[in-house]
Amino acid sequence: MTTTPELGLPMPVPAAEGLPTRVRIHEVGARDGLQNEKATVPTETKAEFIHRLAAAGLTIIEATSFVHPKWVPQLADAERLFPLVRDAAPHLPVLVPNERGLDRALSLGATRIAVFASATESFAKANLNRTVDEALAMFEPVVTRAKAQDAHVRGYLSMCFGDPWEGPVPLPQVVRVCRALLDMGCDELSLGDTIGVATPGHVQALLTALNDEGVPTPSLGVHFHDTYGQALSNTLAALQHGVTTVDASAGGLGGCPYAKSATGNLATEDLVWMLTGLGIDTGVDLGLLTATSVWMAGQLGRPSPSRTVRALSHKE
Amino acid sequence: MTTTPELGLPMPVPAAEGLPTRVRIHEVGARDGLQNEKATVPTETKAEFIHRLAAAGLTIIEATSFVHPKWVPQLADAERLFPLVRDAAPHLPVLVPNERGLDRALSLGATRIAVFASATESFAKANLNRTVDEALAMFEPVVTRAKAQDAHVRGYLSMCFGDPWEGPVPLPQVVRVCRALLDMGCDELSLGDTIGVATPGHVQALLTALNDEGVPTPSLGVHFHDTYGQALSNTLAALQHGVTTVDASAGGLGGCPYAKSATGNLATEDLVWMLTGLGIDTGVDLGLLTATSVWMAGQLGRPSPSRTVRALSHKE
């Protein structure tokens, strides 16, 4: 990464034994971060956001979602947006809920898609109006057809730790759905702590349970929310377990509408700060990324919840 | 701790190997948290705050500071406050900068005192108008006399990781001042990341460097600031190293005036959330503590920066 001492970057110390030397950040700000915004963000603003994220060094930038516009009005411009950003970054995954969404994504040249499952019945019902197994059945042909087109497929799994209706989620329940997503052909999973209740021991217990059932760590990414301020320590626990794919949202944009709090996704800047200090390569220029989040906060009309963004942008 | 499932506490998982089973929280909200408040907080409000913190299960509550009122006007009521709270909790340490402060504290029955040193020349000059060694010389008779009175003595050490003027702080420089504070009789040290720039590898490197020079882990506490969102993951790294004393501030009150950000001390609630999830006993009732921070935020007229406080107080 570019060294920008005037930003007060942390002093890098060689990574402790057992930590990865490189982490792939899966940037979700443009999709997960924006999808719950009430006011419509112009397509051109989204495109500029994605181009700026790429210029800051992010290589996996989730661009949009090909769900029915009725469900996520903010992302109704997917058809118009995707061609504007298709060449912005090496990897531009898009969310697809079903075969119709897959057709739309593939027809525009998408090469990475993601499906969105739930570990709990309550959230499957609330989010997809299906049982967990009905949702898996809906995704199966999507994954099969995407793989037949050589697309990379990510499986999101929500509510891997706690569920607002069901409380703590039993590990075997999470393992079962992970197994099903991998068996149908997903290349990678993203374990979501949708309401932000996880803690480091819980994270390591889930990862161990998955390994014990034959799910290899390289197929696992983590997606933590900062609702209770736990996202970064949970990430550290996952890194210590060997995880090398971490989801984060520039400026901490977004969150789960079911978690009653202003705070949501782990901020990419807070993550990059920690990784830089740990001597872990991310390829991200923290100065450019922070400037991007400050600019986006201006577009949205409210300050970024990222502590790193706030601290760096308050520097004299 | 009292279980309050309606608060959505994290699912406790047995502590990972190598983590302590119990952590002592050194609560600094009433002193460090309030000392930079511009508007005067009434003495009775401070006393109620401390009594409520004790009722929530905190046992070490730093009460006030016997510095000259000119330097910290907010704590000018130390003489009036201390007698109101002296029996509130098992341990009520107070800050004393010099022999005059020690005399004032001891005359009121204080049995735990703390001195406040710096690892860097720049901060020693800015905060104490002395060199590092001049400050140590000032503290020596304070510590000697306090120990002669059987008082417990804590040595705070600021700027252990980075300094706003000097940048990254070399480990040997920190080790030297720690050694000096212990040699003069301090029972415990608090390693401060005053500007919040530390990361987990840096934390473990400093702790290892201290151990290598004969400073035992049980004599070390950690004091992290959340300026860049790193406080809790740094705490996790310290726990993994064996540290069992952690400083935190109820509601995340306070911070360093030299760090340009709204965020400061690690919030006690965010810490308790993580520790509870790790199965580590703290003796704290998170519901009572959160209610206390919500009440205190009301007294100060602005919301708590603690994510856990915000999330729990937004619950329906």
State the Cα–Cα distance between residues A132 and A125, nearest whole angstrom.
8
pLDDT value, residue A257:
53
Least confidently predicted of A228-242, A262-276, A278-292: A262-276
Contact status of B230 with chain A (Cβ, < 8 Å): yes
CB contact under 8 A, A277 and B199: yes
State the Cα–Cα distance between residues A64 and A62, nearest whole angstrom.
6
State the Cα–Cα distance between residues A97 and A146, nearest whole angstrom.
12
Chain A residues closer than 8 Å to B273 by CB:
199, 228-230
- Of all residues in chain A, what percent are helix, strand and coil, respectively (each to 5)? 45, 15, 40
B204-241 as b/e: b if 16+ CB within 10 A: bbbbebbeeeebeeebbbbbbbbbbbbbbbbbbbbbbb
> CATH for B19-313?
3.20.20.70
Nearby residues of B42 by Cβ (< 8 Å), 6 or more positions away: none
Residues A30/A65, Cβ–Cβ less than 8 Å: no
Contact status of A14 with chain B (Cβ, < 8 Å): yes
* Percentage, residues of chain A above pLDDT 90: 84
Class of A5-16+24-313 in CATH: alpha beta
Backbone angles phi, psi at B93, to 5 degrees: -65, 150
Extract the tokens encoding B295.
Answer: 């009440």
Query: Model ipTM?
Result: 0.93
- In 3D, which of B308, B271, B294, B252 has the Cα closest to residue B23? B271
- Of all residues in chain B, what percent are helix, strand and coil, respectively (each to 5)? 45, 15, 40
Q: Which residues pair with B245 in a beta bridge?
A: B24, B221
CB contact under 8 A, B277 and A226: no
Q: Between residues 297 and 316 of chain A, which touch chain B (CB distance below 8 Å)?
A: 306-308, 310-311, 314-316
CB atoms inside a 10 Å sphere around CB A7: 16
Pairing outcome for strands B64-65 and B60-61: unpaired
**Residue A256 is among the residues annotated as catalytic for this protein:** yes
B138, burial (CB in 10 Å: exposed 0-12, middle 13-18, buried 19+): middle
pLDDT value, residue B38:
87
Tens digit of pLDDT for each residue in A159-185? 999 998 999 999 999 999 999 999 999
Q: How close does chain A come to B12, measured CA to CA in Å?
A: 7
Q: SS3 letters for A134-157? A: HHHHHHHHHHHHHHHCCCEEEEEE
Contact status of A86 with chain B (Cβ, < 8 Å): no
Mean pLDDT, range A108-136, rounded to an integer? 96
H/E stretch holding A70: none
Contact status of A21 with chain B (Cβ, < 8 Å): no
Nearby residues of B232 by Cβ (< 8 Å), 6 or more positions away: A229, A230, A232, A233, B224, B226, B266, B270, B271, B274
Length of chain A: 316
pLDDT value, residue B6:
42
Q: Between residues 264 and 283 of chain B, which touch chain A (CB distance below 8 Å)?
A: 267, 270, 273-274, 276-279
- In 3D, which of A82, A95, A83, A217 has the Cα closest to residue A156? A95
Tens digit of pLDDT for each residue in A58-100? 999 999 999 988 888 999 999 999 999 999 999 999 999 999 9
Return the residue in A233, A266, A275 with the most chain B beta carbons within 10 A, the one to mutate for interface testing.
Answer: A233
State the Cα–Cα distance between residues A217 and A239, nearest whole angstrom.
10
Per DSSP, A33 falls in state I
Tens digit of pLDDT for each residue in A179-233? 999 999 999 999 999 999 999 999 999 999 999 999 999 999 999 999 999 999 9
Per DSSP, B15 falls in state P
CB contact under 8 A, A261 and B310: yes
State the Cα–Cα distance between residues B286 and B300, nearest whole angstrom.
21
Higher confidence at residue A55 or residue A8? A55
- How far are the Cα atoms of A34, A185, A292, B175, B182 from residue A63, in angstroms, in the given order? 10, 22, 16, 48, 55
Where are the domains positioned within chain B? 19-313
CB contact under 8 A, B228 and A13: no
Length of chain B: 316
pLDDT mean by block of 10 residues, chain B; 316 residues: 45 70 96 91 98 98 94 93 97 96 97 97 93 97 98 98 93 98 98 95 96 97 96 97 98 70 82 95 95 96 91 74
Q: Where are the alpha helices (DSSP H) in chain B?
A: 43-55, 78-85, 99-107, 121-128, 132-148, 171-183, 200-212, 231-241, 268-277, 286-300, 307-313
State the Cα–Cα distance between residues B30 and B1, nearest whole angstrom.
22
pLDDT value, residue A38:
87
CB atoms inside a 10 Å sphere around CB A49: 27
State the Cα–Cα distance between residues B194 and B198, nearest whole angstrom.
9
